[in-house]
């Protein structure tokens, strides 16, 4: 989606909350996949993804185009939710009840995700190397986990990672270099 299309979609969301369904349709799978690859837990990933999109839905009226794209904004929210999960001993979505009570969000809750679950779980089980990397990645500091996951699991460029994490590109390059070295040492 090009920047002009994103701006138009944002304007539509400001005018009509139901337009957020398009945001959900476009970015749920990539955001869910990012979360799933970071946690390795399907049910937890569903909770974190739901919380991510709920927060985006609630804050979309405050989103203004300032050089950071909508997808980067969504990845930033997801990254913050993942950080919250890592800080807490057990992740508890703060506003899931609000999501369940909002009639406009009902259609978002009734997506068919069972097929998606089977595909993702089969892919993860099929890649023992991925699991080994993920287990060792979880041993690293969060700052290294974030940049490595975004770069290699999500195929994001350094400039996109810089936008998502709100860090300058030099810091991102440095974190990637140090993080990869630490990961190599663990393996």
The answer, yes or no, to whether residue 94 has pLDDT greater than 70, is no
| Residues 113, 164 share a domain | no
Pick the range with the lowest mean pLDDT from 18-27, 62-71, 110-119, 166-175: 110-119
- Give how many domains the chain has, as a whole number: 2
Average confidence (pLDDT) over 152-171: 90
DSSP three-state, residue 99: helix
CATH of the domain at 145: 1.10.10.10
8 A C-beta contact, residue 185 and residue 174: no
Q: How far is CA 67 from its chain centroid?
A: 19
Its domain, for residue 168, covers 128-187
The CATH number assigned to the domain holding 104 equals 1.10.1740.10
CB neighbours of residue 98 within 10 Å: 12
Are 48 and 117 part of one and the same domain? Answer: yes
* pTM for this predicted structure: 0.64
Q: Tell whether the model's pLDDT for residue 150 goes beyond 60.
A: yes
Answer yes or no: do 65 and 22 share one domain.
yes
Tell me, yes or no, whether 94 and 42 share the same domain.
Answer: yes
133 and 119 in a common domain: no
């Amino acid at each position: 989606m090009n920047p002009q299309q994103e701006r138009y979609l944002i304007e539509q969301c400001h005018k009509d909350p139901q337009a957020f369904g398009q945001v959900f349709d476009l970015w749920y799978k990539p955001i869910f996949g990012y979360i799933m690859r970071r946690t390795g837990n399907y049910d937890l990933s569903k909770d974190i993804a739901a919380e991510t999109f709920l927060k985006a839905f609630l804050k979309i009226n405050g989103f203004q185009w300032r050089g950071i794209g909508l997808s980067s904004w969504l990845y930033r929210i997801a990254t913050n939710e993942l950080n919250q999960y890592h800080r807490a001993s057990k992740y508890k979505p703060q506003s899931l009840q609000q999501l369940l009570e909002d009639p406009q969000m009902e259609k978002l809750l009734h997506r068919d995700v069972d097929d998606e679950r089977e595909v993702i779980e089969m892919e993860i089980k099929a890649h023992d190397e991925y699991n080994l990397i993920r287990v060792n990645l979880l041993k690293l500091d969060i700052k290294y986990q974030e940049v490595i996951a975004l770069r290699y699991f999500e195929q994001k460029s350094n400039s996109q990672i810089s936008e998502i994490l709100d860090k300058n590109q030099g810091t991102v390059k440095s974190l990637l270099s140090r993080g990869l070295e630490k990961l190599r040492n663990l393996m």
